Amino acid sequence: MSHTRTLRDLVNECRVELERQGVDSPALSAEILAAHALGMRRLDIVVHANRELSAEQVAAVRALVSRRAAGEPVAYILGEKEFYGLDFAVSPAVLVPRPETELIVEEVERLFSPCDAFTFADFGTGSGCLAVTIASLFPKARGIAVDMSAVALAVAAANARRHGVADRLCFVRADFGRAVVADGSLDLIVANPPYVSAAEYAEVSREVADHEPHSALVPAVGEGVLSNGLESVRALAPRAAVALRPGGHLLMEFGWKQGVAVRDILLSPEGGAFSRAEVRTDLAGLDRYVLADTAE
């Protein structure tokens, strides 16, 4: 096989290889990775389709495509992922931000105006996509980003610096049940906790199972115990109810089968007895997150 390739030929070859390996969006992946390896924009793939590439350029593209063919997510290969219009650095220490999680940010924008000064916490911050985005959208807001992983917190802190909000965010290593703030001190809590059950995890794609952090997906449980996916919700709910001011808000993502169970937990005495818990759906019409309020 000749080392000389036009850009179009190479991208097509990479697409075919990715299709053969059964990865998601093979054509899109091939274009994005080729553009990244060559220091180009994705649009340039079309504009300069007949450009001949050197052997070194071909090798650089193929190296990235090989990683994708092995199931590594594009975001980890590129080292970043867009979330709500902002670019976030990501690594295998954190989950790749999902579009569904943007629904929580949209809800925050409905609850507060851009000029509001409020205090919030982000539990299970990971890359910091929620905490950093909220701080970026609300210049007077101050927040605490909580995660059990020191490496994840380092990624989140770097993203806060990247977007100029580090002076209004504090990063704390702690689990969901720990009291990291004074009682009644928060106006808002957002959370995307681990909520994948052990049974569901056994069926996730190889991209997720082989590359994304298990601890960010499946709640921690005792040895020999299988997670039902709700352990993090049960741990966080009563702590959130105490940490929020009267009339404060909790926004929490969960698995699409968990809506009824999450609502019941939040309205129960053990879950903090929130005065309201409304399950909201995603664009596919599936239960995706909950808005819960403390009594005023």
Residue 280 lies in a domain: yes
Tokens 């990063």: give the residue. 171
Residue 80 lies in a domain: no
**4 carries a ligand binding annotation:** no
Whichever domain contains 45, its CATH number is 1.10.8.10
**176 carries a ligand binding annotation:** yes
Residue 249 lies in a domain: yes
Whichever domain contains 194, its CATH number is 3.40.50.150
Residues 71, 72, 75, 77, CA torsion sign: negative
Q: From start to end of the chain, where are the E strands?
A: 5-6, 52-53, 80-83, 86-89, 119-123, 142-147, 169-173, 186-191, 244-253, 276-281, 287-293
**192 carries a ligand binding annotation:** yes
**92 carries a ligand binding annotation:** no
CA angle (119 as vertex; 241, 127 as ends), nearest 5: 90
**83 carries a ligand binding annotation:** no
Domain boundary among 37, 70, 103: 70
Tell me, what's the pLDDT at 1? 42
Name the residue range of residue 272's domain.
90-293
| The pair of three-digit structure tokens given for residue 257, joined into one six-digit string | 């089968």
pTM above 0.85?
A: yes
Residue 22 lies in a domain: yes
**125 carries a ligand binding annotation:** yes
Q: How many domains does the chain have?
A: 2
Residue 53 lies in a domain: yes
Are 55 and 112 in a shared domain?
Answer: no
Are 51 and 138 in a shared domain?
Answer: no
Are 229 and 266 in a shared domain?
Answer: yes
Contact between 169 and 145 under an 8 Å Cβ cutoff? The reply is: yes
Nearest CA to 50 among 1, 12, 3, 5?
Answer: 5
Are 9 and 142 in a shared domain?
Answer: no
Residue 38 lies in a domain: yes
**12 carries a ligand binding annotation:** no
Are 30 and 142 in a shared domain?
Answer: no
**54 carries a ligand binding annotation:** no
Are 168 and 232 in a shared domain?
Answer: yes
Domain boundary among 41, 70, 99: 70
From CA 238, how far away is CA 249, in angstroms rounded? 13
Are 186 and 56 in a shared domain?
Answer: no
Are 26 and 141 in a shared domain?
Answer: no
Contact between 144 and 180 under an 8 Å Cβ cutoff? The reply is: yes
Are 117 and 255 in a shared domain?
Answer: yes
Are 123 and 235 in a shared domain?
Answer: yes
Domain boundary among 70, 98, 121: 70
Residue 83 lies in a domain: no
Residue 219 lies in a domain: yes
pLDDT along the chain (296 residues), means of 10: 77 96 93 95 89 93 96 96 98 95 98 98 97 98 97 97 98 87 96 94 89 92 86 95 97 96 96 96 96 95
| DSSP label at residue 95 | P
Are 206 and 156 in a shared domain?
Answer: yes
Radius of gyration of the chain (CA): 21
From CA 149, how far away is CA 121, in angstroms rounded? 16
Are 108 and 255 in a shared domain?
Answer: yes
From CA 157, how far away is CA 50, in angstroms rounded? 42
**127 carries a ligand binding annotation:** yes
